[in-house]
Structures are given as structure tokens and as C-alpha cells.
Amino acid sequence: MNVAILISGSGSNMLSLIDDMTGPHPGRVRLVLSNTPKAAGISKAVARGITAKVVDYQTYKPNISAFEQALQNQLEAHKIDLICLAGFMHILGSNFIASWKGRILNIHPSLLPKYKGLDTHQRAIDAGDYIAGCTVHEVVTELDSGRILAQGYVNILPDEDALSLAARVLVQEHLLYPKVVREFIDNLLNKISQ
Ligand code: GAR
């Protein structure tokens, strides 16, 4: 199964997926797409031998449908079956998401349904939570709200700040996302073969 990873930043989750999808894995990363040329993940993907393209939102803004059509063109050109958002900081429109229904996943740095959107770690600390974590979920039009596939947990330490919590949650993200994607692809292939 051909996988595309959409990024906007450092691409550490992207690398954990690329590195897992080797050998006897049912998926292969065929394409990395970034919505900004500034994403550090682009060169990391290229260093792994993965095709990486920039579809720069700034050059399409405010024409969202042209931006999403450009994404779609890349996805079709690379015969992509499954999209994994990995630190992709752009909200996709309902038409795009509808056309990928059941084939688009995201990892979010909170225990959804808590703390949708940004600033998740500080919000968990401010709320006095004892546990934080990350969630892999299907993407639907409503932000960070699709079916939850799995979560990873991290204890919030006394006097912890958002930076240190983010770093410890990220370690869990790197373990969780590849595991869930592998299972998700296995399930999709099982359904197709039935
Ligand atoms: C990760 O913590 C990811 O969960 C989060 O951004 C970070 C990106 O790290 N994603 C979101 O907040 C999406 N709304 P990475 O680029 O190193 O994978």
C-alpha cells in the first residue's frame, strides 16, 4: 500500500513512519508533501531516498481549493492509497477530507477528546492533569475529532513545563504512530481481500 506523509515541520513522526515501513511491511512511504518550503523534514525525507514535494500554501492563499487540488495531483501522480498527517499544521477542507474518507490518519499530541487544536501540553499542565499523551485518529472535517485508533500515555511530572512534556510525549508518538499505521494497513488489506 502506497503511503504519503504530509508535514509542516521537523518531521520526527515522519521519520518514525518511514523507518518502520521497510522490509516485510504492508506499506511503503512513496511521497512526503510539505505545505511549506521551511519544513526541516523535507531534507530528512530526501536523505532517506523518499520523494519530497512542497505544495506551498503561501503561493495559493487564499485559494484553498487550488491548494488542495495541487495536493491531490501529487497524491494521484504517486498512486497514494493512504495519507498520514505528521505535524501537518494546516486544516484541510471538507471536500479534500471526504475524498480520502477512511484513508487519512493524524497524530495529535493530547489525549483526545481533550485539547483539540494547539498548545496542548500547556493546557494539560494548566488544567492540573496528571496524565498527558498522544492520539492517533482518523481525520474528519471537524478538527481532531475522527475515530480514535489508539493513545499513548505519559505521566505529567511535578513542576513539569510544556517543553519537557512535549519531548516526552513525542517519544510516545514515535512508538505509537508506526504501530497503528501498520495495523491500519493490515486491516485495510484484509477488508479488500475479503
Ligand atoms: C508532534 O507533536 C505532532 O503530534 C504535532 O506536532 C508535532 C510535530 O512533530 N502535531 C500537531 O499538533 C497536529 N495538530 P514532528 O514534525 O517532529 O513529527
Going residue by residue through the chain (194 aa), what tens digit of pLDDT does each one get? 999 999 999 999 999 999 999 999 999 999 999 999 999 999 999 999 999 999 999 999 999 999 999 999 999 999 999 999 999 999 999 999 999 999 999 999 999 999 999 999 999 999 999 999 999 999 999 999 999 999 999 999 999 999 999 999 999 999 999 999 999 999 999 998 88
- Which domain, by its residues, includes 76? 2-193
Structural domains counted in the chain: 1
Instruction: Give me the active site residues, please.
Output: 108
**Closest CA relative to residue 45, chosen from 74, 5, 85:** 5
Sign of CA dihedral 123, 145, 190, 24: negative
145 lines ligand 1 (CB under 6 A): no
pTM (two decimals):
0.97
Which atom of ligand 1 is the closest one to the Cα of 14? 18
Q: Report whether 59 contacts 34 (CB < 8 A).
A: no
CA of 108 to the centre of ligand 1 (A): 7
16 lines ligand 1 (CB under 6 A): no
Q: Report whether 130 contacts 157 (CB < 8 A).
A: no
107 lines ligand 1 (CB under 6 A): yes
CATH number at residue 129: 3.40.50.170
